Amino acid sequence: TMALGGVRVLELAGLAPAPLCGMILADFGAQVVRIDRLSRSSGAHGDVQARGKRSLAVDLKRPQGAAVLRRLCGRADVLSVMERLGLGPEVLLQENPRLIYARLTGFGQTGIYAKSAGHDINYLALSGVLSKLGRKNENPYAPVNLLADFAGGGVMCALGIVIALFERSRSGRGQVIDASMVEGVAYLSSFLWKSQKLGLWSQPRGENLLDGGAPFYEIYRTSDGKFMAVGAIEPVFYNQLIKGLGLNLDELPTQMSLSDWPEMKKKFASIFAQKTQAEWCSIFDSTDACVIPVLSFDDAASHPHNKERSSFIKNDHGEMSPRPAPVLSRTPAVPSVKRDPFIGEHTEEILLEYGFTKQEIAKLYSDKAIEFKNLKANL
């Protein structure tokens, strides 16, 4: 039995952060049902993070469809929503006091931006984190949509759900989760906030220890156009870096001489450019210089370290993706290797599990309130 075995989750189909949250819960054993709009009105759902989920297609704009969701919530443990449906937590928690109602939005449920549109880059900006990201003398730089959407949104929402489930085991009561991507990514940046007085971020953006200013915490191009990531912060690691580069420590400025960092970066760059990535790996792999190759997705999946740990898994269609993390010793995640569900593929079996009769299901279908991918003959 996985850690979240038996937990029933309803996920209203939405954009990237919510599907990640649902996939995390499914990977660790929750029974996740994705509530899809009817395919004839919504087209492709765009959920590439549907591993382990089932799909129920229902028209929530019809009263009968909204009634279906309301009835499902009466037996569910978690409802994850990203949009307003008229089924607020007050109503649903009154009918099912154990329900955990997770609201995942960009700006949160309150505040002057609460109803405003936005994306990862906007949430990063409002959190203050974006101001810290980027190279010297360049504009702030947003690293795709990993930080706010997925880390501050999907992962933090999943954490909130697990925390609420744990609390419910003592109180017997559900609650509402207000998961804001702005606040989620700001919380992730707590170290940046709390280390300001340590001098780690006293220089302009791109000139500090961990943001590209230091020559020993940088990415360097190799002769074959690939890259090596260097993170030799501690002196003992820095010494091994210098040795691997074929330099003499006594002939160089001290490691923390900030005024010499720009010239040292140029020196390191010229040396790294003289060998291939593979050649540098052969030099540094047996050391603690904290020098690691920058791998493509394909190379990461085939790297000996990751292969030994089975860090990447392959589904039935041969598609590779990261395995669930972290690894639990006694109840590890066992992710599904089946293909992602079609819209409405599991409508009938889910409704039957949640107490609907075949006659009720047939009526909902005839009223065009639900949809089946493959309609059973007896309906």
Number of H helices, E strands in the chain: 15, 12
DSSP state at residue 271: H
Of 119, 178, 260, 303, which residue is the catalytic one?
Answer: 119
Cα-based angle 181, 182, 185 (whole degrees, multiple of 5): 75
For residue 128, count other CB atoms closer than 10 A to its CB. Answer: 14
Angle between helices 17-27 and 156-171 (to 10 degrees): 50
Position of tokens 């992602």? 340
Residue with tokens 């939405």: 14
Q: Look up 59 and say whether it is catalytic.
A: no
C-alpha to C-alpha distance for 129 and 23, rounded to whole angstroms:
26
> What 3-state DSSP class applies to 293?
strand
8 A C-beta contact, residue 354 and residue 71: yes
CA dist 62 and 119 (Å) reads: 29
Residues 6+ apart with CB under 8 A from 312: 300, 301, 306, 320, 321, 322, 323
Q: Based on the residue annotation, tell me whether 149 is a catalytic residue of this protein.
A: yes
* Catalytic entry in 149, 211, 340, 346: 149
- DSSP letters for 183-244: HHHHHHTHHHHHTGGGTTT-SPTTSSTTTT-STTEEEEE-TTS-EEEEE--SHHHHHHHHHH
Residues acting as catalytic residues: 119, 149
